[in-house]
Amino acid sequence: MKDVADGVAPASLRVARGLRLLPPRDGISAARLRAPGGTQTHAAQHDPVPGTVREWLEQVVISRTLAREEALDSVGVEYFTVAGELTDQTGARVRLDDAVIPGGFYAFHKPVPPERRVPFEIAVVHEDDELLIVDKPHFLASTPNGIFQRECVVTRLRIARGEDDIVAMHRLDRVTGGLLALSRRPETRGKYQVLFQEKQIQKTYRALAWLPNGWREGDPLPLGLESGEARERRSRLRKIDGERPVREVAGPPNAHTTIRLAGAGERDGRAVGAFVLTPHTGKTHQLRVHMNGLGMPIVGDPVYPRDAEPDPYDFSDPLQLLATTLAFDDPLTGERRVFHSRMALAA
């Protein structure tokens, strides 16, 4: 769970707002690059400016910036100006012998291989001129990420609706299901994004989580949880590059979740609790890490307490975590808006 308008990318690939860059192709946004030099502050401002675009792509971009991009491992520079449709910040097509614009932004289409379809459908909960509120199925990514560029909510909806301007205003983990809010119009998008940035969106999740081994009704639970009562979990979360699990570490809290036990039962011979979770911050994997840290990992979690390195196409055991409610005051009308998921957790 993380509130971002777009997936976080390296600085050289971030969107340059307000510039005339290449539109999406097949629903997938173009990648962005920034040339060295120029007068504005950026990571490569003081690097030497190559004489031509070809020299830049050969000596700088492919060797340093794009080497991490698996889809570009075997791409030569000709790809960028042919299939890649390299354009500059004015929207003009670029040739390999053109001079590099110091500090300029460039865009191109990355090669995107075919993908196996994730066999679940997106359900529209609400739509108007500005917004789409959908139920994202478990196992479908919110935005293009890693091996899933085509098989995600944003790409699917852009293609199905013919709307290249659709953008997710926050993200749900790929294995989490439930409500996802998307903007349809760049002209009003910023007003809604501010709600997420300033934590003015109220979100509620439901989860099934394993209760401590040997737990029986009447036994104490972490945080002093009792059915119907809410408790607070605050801790410091840290994401380490190259590791899938997020860690709880010592230090001032940067993550806060309200946890309420709604009831308890049994699943596969073990005690399981039904929880209502309210995040007050938007850290990656926050709800999953907080529940695991209490010794009550969410049922079906492939990463906590142990990273099982799951096959991304194994759909047999969905995470029992569901984004059930989104509520906010509409920044355009002032109207209070509350949306409810139509999905349900396993019995």
**Mean per-residue pLDDT, 225-240:** 94
Q: In the predicted model, what is the mean pLDDT of residues 322-333? A: 97
What's the mean pLDDT in 47-51?
93
102 vs 12 pLDDT, higher one: 102
pLDDT value, residue 8: 33
Range of the domain at 40: 1-113
- pTM (predicted TM-score): 0.88
What pLDDT is stored for residue 15 in this prediction? 41
Q: Where are the alpha helices (DSSP H) in the chain?
A: 53-56, 77-81, 153-161, 186-197, 286-293
Q: Which residues are catalytic?
A: 173
- Residue type present at position 12: S
What's the confidence (pLDDT) of residue 1?
Answer: 47
Give me the CATH number covering residue 150: 3.30.2350.10
Q: Are 292 and 311 in contact (CB under 8 A)?
A: no
Sequence-ordered strand ranges (E) for 35-110: 87-88, 105-108
pLDDT at 67 over 60: no
**Residues 257, 163 share a domain:** no
Q: Give yes or no: residues 206 and 303 share one domain.
A: yes
Give the closest residue to 276 by CA, choosing from 327, 229, 341, 213.
229
pLDDT at 7: 35
Q: What is the pLDDT of residues 265-303, one digit of tens each?
A: 999 889 999 999 999 999 999 999 999 999 999 999 999
CA distances in angstroms from 13 to 7, 66, 155, 159, 283, listed in the order given? 11, 9, 18, 23, 22
The predicted pLDDT at position 76 comes to 82
Does 158 fall in a domain? Answer: yes
The answer to whether residue 2 sits within a structural domain is yes
pLDDT digits (tens, 9 = 90+) for 157-173: 999 999 999 999 999 99
Strands 321-329 and 177-183: parallel
- 215 and 163 inside one domain: no
Rg (CA), the chain: 22
Q: 20 near 95, Cβ under 8 Å?
A: no
Clarify whether residues 280 and 228 are in a common domain: yes
Claim to verify: residue 154 and residue 206 sit in the same structural domain: no
- Find the Cα–Cα–Cα–Cα dihedral 298, 301, 303, 306, rounded to 10°: 70
323: in domain: no
278 and 296, same domain (yes or no): yes
What is the β-pairing status of strands 177-183 and 131-136?
antiparallel
Domain-embedded: residue 320: no
What pLDDT score does 249 carry? 96
d(CA 204, CA 314): 27
pLDDT digits 0-9 by tens, 104-151: 999 999 999 999 999 999 999 999 999 999 999 999 999 998 899 999
The domain tally of the chain equals: 3
Both ends of the chain: CA-CA distance in Å? Answer: 23
Residue-averaged pLDDT of the chain: 90
Nearest-10 Cα torsion for 212, 259, 179, 14 = -100
Look at residue 217 in the predicted model and tell me its pLDDT.
87
pLDDT at 17 over 60: no
- Tell me, yes or no, whether 328 lies in a domain: no
pLDDT at 30 over 60: yes
